[in-house]
Structure 1
């Protein structure tokens, strides 16, 4: 007779697979100790400092949000299950006093390899970045100022600050390398390049210098000021190009390499069919009929466009739209324009913008040249692309090794955040605790930084879950769950403080709601 089968369960005592690591932090910075252990579940944890239990420290990870001098000591954790317990190796926490802030000359933003760069240069770079995005938003009918309000707007402003800082770092490194190599842009070289680019600008827009001056005056600017800014920009371009040539050195490409480059990018060397046209835009069909009648009676198209067109851009230019290919204009306009012969005028064309009368002034047919026809252009393009990649690598290495001091505490903290979220959080918390700056949205920024940490941990967890199972996978996932939970709690606390600091703000309210939902097990709404 055979007995019933019996289940044998083998319980294993806890075993530590990753011990907590020693750390050195400044007063006010965060310190986190983490342990990874295996063994029969459930596992329980108890952290100790200098052998004494720490109340409430009963997870696989123990975080000190803002370390004080009294927190220094030897940290261990006891891991226990039904089969026994094991104590980790001690990890020493060293807490150093905060540094005495140096006296920074007024207006200094960053020092790169002892090269000071001031607020005026920073503001110029930042203004150029903001203007670029303002024009980009305007193409979609959006006013960027709408996006620069409230908590979310403050974050966008800080992103512009970081972009300007990056530009400033690049400038400092390039200027330093130019000085080291003795590279100088001569006045003659600068003036020749300015005249070339200035003439190309007028030609591409189909305007005279007098017309440019009028348009600048309408915007409250002067032609002399425009030219001065242009010369300054071109001087920077020429210096950058000269440093790039010196850093990269000469490039030698074979005919086979050039042909391969051309074949990979053959479509780039072809040209699509394009037309050059002018138009008059009005709001009603009756107005369009009246203008059409005047044109048929011999009126000048450009003069009527200046006087009557409701398109402010082309109207001031006599209706000129310049060259465009298919897909650039609304379908009704495109179809009518491409159907015309050079010198021919359309009838009334209705689109979502109103009623157009179109005059076709030129046409270019599509082309697809062979390698020999564009060999010089291919060589220039290939060398520029390779040189650009090599110079970008040099610049990245130069940034990593440069001695950089950012004198604005908030900008410095945000820069750290962009490089390492944990360093950024520590710097932001220190600014808050030491009241280094007056920043209305500081608590919101800290909450955003903790959300960044949470998102990184969630991404790491998803990656780990997709990998094949390993002996320590469960323990690593458990550690990540702790990090996610602690970051979520810290973000919520910071956002709630932000709401108290600034009052009702939709972005803050939405972030709190999303994190509370995630804490309750509902799907998380990313920022």
Structure 2
């Protein structure tokens, strides 16, 4: 009988014999035991590590500030999103900023975008100091006002899609606008203008206060020529213009008023409407007229000849205009002082201003950042916060100023 040890010895000799019959090349390459497969695993693990390292480094780079304003950062991803929106805006008008011929224009745009974001940051900081807070209901109310300026809610959302703005982004924009308005209102609450100042301005610019010929119009606006022809036939049969306007017109601001546009100058109308209005007599209505907005039928209710306006006629309007001018001057002076007092530190390494040409990589980043923002519905990413170690701050400030000097050289 075979012992266990002898059986093991025979089996081992067979394995050695089989190994000796293997091709030396195969043994060398490691195919016998799958070493080649292990090498492939090592290769792809290496690739994965490199990809993760690069993507991680890029993510950290995106959270680096392009500038700091009184210690608060403007993150690179925020800057690139705003810049990408500006690039898309100009593309709608046939201006391709990817073209190297537009390099100087793009360089100026980059500076304008960054300056705009710095200005907004200062305004936001000052609003916080004044304890100004905008509620969601205030944002909703402003959005409702904007919607009313469109023929329909569908047109409103189509306009947003065309501008590549999500509802979340729109809410953020409106919140910033309302914050600025509330701050400016508070800062200019003590700005006044006297009647004597208004009267003096009127006397100096009397020749400017001439009212051109005005016409009183109402209109019905529809989308198709067939709808317009149908309404025109009803008017010819004696149907009431105001009633038809309330029923059919898609011009939201005027339809509930029977299509009444009030007293307006012909210069405020598109050319085709102005020409048709000029040919109408009082209390006559036109045939359907095509315009960029759709198809109109207008009715002329009256005409006023041009005339010089008296002080009493312009007093209220002129007072409001001069007060706004005075408030704007006060705000301009205030903001100039605040900006001079602010500590603004641009980061030329993260946001280089000396490379105006958009590369293919930058194109991809604009698209990616835009996609991420659409997914987030305008909510900012909560990225890593800067440290508050005084020693590191002073060191980084020194490095930043040195970097600026080097970039200027």
Shift of 1:331: 4.5
Q: Does 1:256 align with 2:205?
A: no
User: Which of 231, 240, 243 lines up with 2:180 in the alignment?
Assistant: 240
TM-aligned CA distance change 1:331 to 1:117, over 3 Å = closer
Shift of 1:334: 1.5
Q: Deviation string for 1:427-480 (max 9, x for gaps)?
A: x6xx9xxxxx99589xxxxxxxxxxxxxxxxxxxxxxxxxxxxxxxxxxxxxxx
User: Which of 381, 389, 392 lines up with 2:321 in the alignment?
Assistant: 381
Equivalent residue pairs, number: 289
Partners of 1:131 and 1:329 in 2: how far apart?
Answer: 30
TM-aligned CA distance change 1:108 to 1:264, over 3 Å = farther
User: Which of 166, 170, 184 lines up with 2:131 in the alignment?
Assistant: 184
With normalisation by structure 1, the TM-score equals 0.41
Query: Contact 2:290 / 2:296 at 8 angstroms: preserved in 1?
Result: no
User: Which of 91, 96, 118 lines up with 1:169 in the alignment?
Assistant: 118
Counterparts of 1:315-330 in structure 2, within 5 Å, are 325-329=265-269
Q: Does 1:273 align with 2:222?
A: no
User: Which of 299, 324, 330 lines up with 1:360 in the alignment?
Assistant: 299
TM-aligned CA distance change 1:243 to 1:331, over 3 Å = closer
Partners of 2:76 and 2:295 in 1: how far apart?
Answer: 48
User: Which of 79, 86, 101 lines up with 1:122 in the alignment?
Assistant: 79
Counterparts of 1:121-520 in structure 2, within 5 Å, are 121-123=78-80, 125-126=82-83, 129=86, 143-179=92-128, 182-187=129-134, 191-192=137-138, 195=141, 197-198=142-143, 200-201=145-146, 204-205=149-150, 207=151, 211-212=152-153, 214-218=154-158, 221=161, 229=169, 231-244=171-184, 250-263=190-203, 267=208, 273-274=214-215, 275-278=217-220, 296=236, 325-329=265-269, 331-340=271-280, 344-347=284-287, 358-360=297-299, 365=304, 370-373=310-313, 375-407=315-347, 409=349, 411-414=351-354
Partners of 1:235 and 1:371 in 2: how far apart?
Answer: 39
Unpaired stretches in structure 1, ≥5 consecutive residues: 1-102, 135-142, 307-312, 415-427, 432-436, 442-527
Partners of 1:344 and 1:146 in 2: how far apart?
Answer: 45
Query: Contact 2:228 / 2:297 at 8 angstroms: preserved in 1?
Result: no
Shift of 1:184: 2.4
The alignment's C-alpha RMSD in Å is 5.2
Query: Contact 1:183 / 1:242 at 8 angstroms: preserved in 2?
Result: no
Query: Contact 1:194 / 1:234 at 8 angstroms: preserved in 2?
Result: no
- 2:327 is paired with a residue whose SS is helix
Query: Contact 2:289 / 2:295 at 8 angstroms: preserved in 1?
Result: yes
Q: Which protein, 1 or 2, shows the higher relative CO under an 8 Å CA cutoff with sep ≥ 6?
A: 2
**Aligned residue for 1:51?**
none
Partners of 2:198 and 2:176 in 1: how far apart?
Answer: 30
- 1:250 is paired with a residue whose SS is coil
Query: Contact 1:341 / 1:360 at 8 angstroms: preserved in 2?
Result: no
**Aligned residue for 1:62?**
none
Q: Deviation string for 1:46-102 (max 9, x for gaps)?
A: xxxxxxxxxxxxxxxxxxxxxxxxxxxxxxxxxxxxxxxxxxxxxxxxxxxxxxxxx
Counterparts of 1:108-119 in structure 2, within 5 Å, are 108-119=65-76
Shift of 1:199: 5.7
Query: Contact 1:125 / 1:167 at 8 angstroms: preserved in 2?
Result: no
- 2:193 is paired with a residue whose SS is coil
TM-aligned CA distance change 1:362 to 1:404, over 3 Å = farther
Partners of 1:384 and 1:263 in 2: how far apart?
Answer: 19
- 2:353 is paired with a residue whose SS is helix
Shift of 1:405: 2.5
Unpaired stretches in structure 2, ≥5 consecutive residues: 1-59, 362-409
TM-aligned CA distance change 1:333 to 1:164, over 3 Å = same
Query: Contact 1:345 / 1:357 at 8 angstroms: preserved in 2?
Result: no
Query: Contact 2:134 / 2:178 at 8 angstroms: preserved in 1?
Result: no
Shift of 1:118: 2.2
Partners of 1:295 and 1:254 in 2: how far apart?
Answer: 51
Quick check: which one's strand share is greater? 1
Query: Contact 2:214 / 2:265 at 8 angstroms: preserved in 1?
Result: yes
Query: Contact 1:112 / 1:404 at 8 angstroms: preserved in 2?
Result: yes
Query: Contact 1:276 / 1:322 at 8 angstroms: preserved in 2?
Result: yes
Shift of 1:170: 0.5
**Aligned residue for 1:52?**
none
